């Protein structure tokens, strides 16, 4: 029969850790680029829709600024 002391984890034991991503100094940009390309290959439709959304937002801002500057001139 086990006692409560033998069943409970000791305060010095560490919890199990998940596998770590390989971390090397100065490799953060490379990891981000590989992660981005992997996501583009996995979900290309999401990438296309995101790019179209950003392009549409830039076009809208450009049109509104052009219209407002033309009204300011007159």
* pLDDT tens, the chain, 74 aa long: 555 555 555 556 666 665 565 555 667 999 999 999 999 999 999 999 999 999 999 999 999 999 999 999 87
Q: What is the pLDDT of residue 12?
A: 65
- pLDDT for 74 equals 79
Coil, helix or strand at residue 47: helix
pLDDT of residue 27: 79
Residue with tokens 């179209």: 52
For the chain, domain boundaries = 32-73
Phi, psi of 18 (to 5 degrees): -75, 160
Note if the pTM is more than 0.75: no
Q: What angle do CA 30, 44, 46 make, to 5 degrees?
A: 100
What tokens does 71 get? 């009204």
Of residues 33, 64, 30, 36, the one with CA closest to residue 50: 36
């Amino acid at each position: 029969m086990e006692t409560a002391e033998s069943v409970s984890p000791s305060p010095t034991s560490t919890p199990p850790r998940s596998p770590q991503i390989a971390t090397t100094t100065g490799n953060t940009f490379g990891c981000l680029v590989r992660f981005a390309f992997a996501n583009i290959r996995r979900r290309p439709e999401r990438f296309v829709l995101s790019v179209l959304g950003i392009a549409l937002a830039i076009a809208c801002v450009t049109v509104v600024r052009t219209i407002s500057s033309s009204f300011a001139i007159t």
